[in-house]
A and B are shown apart, each in its own frame.
Chain A
């Protein structure tokens, strides 16, 4: 059973460019969340997608946008790249909790973005 897969694993961009990162969730999962992990820091929540809509959003500017497709896969887009966007971008999938619990996330290995 494949877990969460992300592509590309590494990429280099220059300031002002745009980037698209992709994520395929674990089989049976319907919710995708994206996190940004700067070097030496813990991951920070960017946003979450469920039923092809953004459901929750962290404290990130509108340059960060996303999409979820009918097969539950997701994309993260970042426009007008800044040096500070250099980070590991983690995708995590889960099955949406319809109760009052906390579903467990399965993480991918991330996409390492370097902005020059």
Chain B
């Protein structure tokens, strides 16, 4: 069974600084997808970034980028130039290719941004 582990329950960052959120996963599949989702107090999950396992290039979306280490099964999220609106819970998630979006989530990490 696939598992996703987020071992840091909380992190804090100063506004305009950079923060990295960690995630590890376990799978026997060779082709899969990894995601970072943001859940603000409004509760709606918002996709931040997506990584395809067969692509060696790390995904980037504006201020958000990932460090994908397939051999180590590590998938960290870097947020640059942190903004107050980045404060939320962040979830790492996994799905195997062809699974039609059955996601396995980690427990999440609460990110606070200090002004």
Interface residues of A (CB under 8 A from B): 31, 33, 35, 40-45, 48, 50, 55-56, 58, 88, 90, 92, 94, 96-97, 99-105, 107-110, 112
Contacts and interface: CB of A to CB of B under 8 A. Distances in A.
Contacts of A104: 47, 50, 101
Interface of B is mostly: loop
Interface of B: 4, 6, 31-33, 42-47, 50, 52, 91, 93, 95, 97-108
A51 to B, nearest CB: 12
B42 A42 contact: no
Given A33-B102, A42-B93, A102-B52, 20 more contacts: A33-B101, A40-B107, A40-B108, A42-B91, A42-B106, A43-B103, A43-B105, A45-B102, A45-B103, A48-B100, A55-B100, A90-B43, A92-B45, A97-B100, A99-B98, A102-B32, A102-B33, A104-B47, A109-B44, A110-B43
A88 B101 contact: no
Contacts of A112: 43
A50 B50 CA distance: 23
Contact of A102 (B44, B45, B95): B95
29 contacts: A41-B108, A42-B4, A43-B45, A43-B91, A45-B102, A48-B100, A50-B100, A56-B99, A56-B102, A58-B102, A88-B43, A90-B43, A96-B100, A97-B98, A101-B33, A101-B97, A101-B98, A102-B32, A102-B33, A102-B99, A103-B100, A104-B47, A105-B45, A105-B47, A105-B101, A107-B45, A108-B44, A109-B42, A110-B43
A72 B7 CA distance: 37
A107 B45 CA distance: 6
Nearest to A99: B98
B100 A41 contact: no
Contacts of A94: 100-101
Nearest to B91: A42
